Amino acid sequence: MNTPSNDRRTAHDSMGEMEVPADALYGASTQRAVLNFPISGTGLPPRLIHAFGLIKKAAAETNAELGLLDPALAASIAEAAGEIAAGQHDAQFPVDVYQTGSGTSTNMNVNEVIAGRCDQLAVAVHPNDHVNLGQSSNDTFPAAIHVAAAQEIRNRLVPALESLAVALEAKSRAFHGVLKIGRTHLMDATPVSLGQEFGGWARQVRLAVTRAWKAVDALAELPLGGTAVGSGLNTHPDFAGKAIARLAEATGIPFREAENHFEAQSAKDACVEAHGQLATIAVSLHKIACDVRLLASGPRCGLGEIRLPATQPGSSIMPGKVNPVMAESVTMVAARVAGNQTTLAWCGVGGFLELNVSMPLLAACLLESISLLGNVAAAFGERCVAGIQADEKRCNELIELSLSMVTALAPRIGYDRAAAIAKESVASGRTVREICESRLDELGLRAAELAGLLDAARMSGAGG
């Protein structure tokens, strides 16, 4: 125990006395957790704490409505909890991510901060008897995960993805008539339009928005009301429905009571499912970012079909070098989300009998992935996609150089003769068009027919 001094005060809990910082709103239970878990130096995400504030506010108001809590106490708790939800007391939550697996330390941290704030408001409130009335860490912590994650997806991730989709769709329209060579296996294939490529990416992001909303739906069931093991011991039978209705009204998200509280508390399958959607979104963004930097590679010794906006110098030693840094940030976020997917799945299997005991880490991974994906999608759209330009001259040059142009001739002259022309193109350095123009009679083609067959716009389906 620390020696009492002017900057410390004595707090009490069921285990006895504990010295805590004099200016701390929290009490003995929180301080014990701070001392017990000096693991990472990283607390839980503020959004989780804010969600806890919403839950405690809804709980106090519901308990008052049910006649279980004095209205004056409930009002004070609701006021303090509302302040937590608004982020006014973020510095009062020092408990490490790597703590008790149920998140009890954080639940008690919230309870104590509310009680401490009520004390400042001249209302005597007990953190367990009043703030935690009708609740348990085992149902409030997972409920807070769901509330925080669903809000973050709706408020941060979905708008960022929609903005990125709009930017890609605008480029798809702008580049509709820019013809270029397609590539499969990273090798030349038949022509496409640059607009078609951007349209494919835009569709990926639109599907990512759909997947994000599926994640919200997976999180919409809340375990609140199950208390310790899912049986609802020590809570009013109407508590869960009324408190969750308040949460739905406060957030605008259609939260609902878990159909089976034993499932909702013992398993974290909904969170694993939600993060699975996030992992898919990360894969989509990674694919788009890699394609963008491939098409922009060079600018003179690579593909060079598009030009990216220059956002910063690319090298400390090579003057004038500009790198695809925005695309690289996307790929690193995708790597982090992939790691979080593995960690979160491992946390998901950390359910033993009636309780999952890996919830704090699960919460941290889930909320980090949402935040990273939302931030990087917004930055990539604004600082990269919006400024992309097409190099039409380069695109046209590469179309003519491609051996795959011969594909359009195969139905007319046969696969083997077409293959022979492709091989001759490689050996001679002449284009497919040049070889065919020199052998019109041998191939049985007219000049106009050859031009039509080798029309890149027709081949791409983008129109001529």
Active site residues: 185, 315
Distance CA 119, CA 113 (A): 10
Sign of CA dihedral 272, 273, 279, 285: negative
Yes or no: say if 182 and 190 are a contact pair by the CB < 8 Å rule.
yes
Yes or no: say if 386 and 166 are a contact pair by the CB < 8 Å rule.
no
Yes or no: say if 227 and 136 are a contact pair by the CB < 8 Å rule.
yes
Yes or no: say if 313 and 323 are a contact pair by the CB < 8 Å rule.
no
Token readout for 257 is 């009571």
DSSP class per residue in 202-237: HHHHHHHHHHHHHHHHHT-EE-TT-TTTSS-TTS-T
CA 385 to centroid of chain Cα atoms = 19
Among the residues of 175-324, which ranges form H helices?
A: 194-218, 239-251, 261-266, 269-295
Angle between helices 104-120 and 28-36 (to 10 degrees): 140
CA 437 to centroid of chain Cα atoms = 54
- Which amino acid is it at 241? G
Among the residues of 24-100, which ranges form H helices?
A: 28-36, 46-65, 71-85
Distance CA 232, CA 235 (A): 6
Please provide residue 140's backbone torsions phi and psi, each rounded to the nearest 5 degrees: -75, -40
* Alpha carbon distances (Å) from 247 to 140, 217, 276: 12, 15, 25
* Residue whose token pair is 């091989």: 423
Token readout for 404 is 């795959």
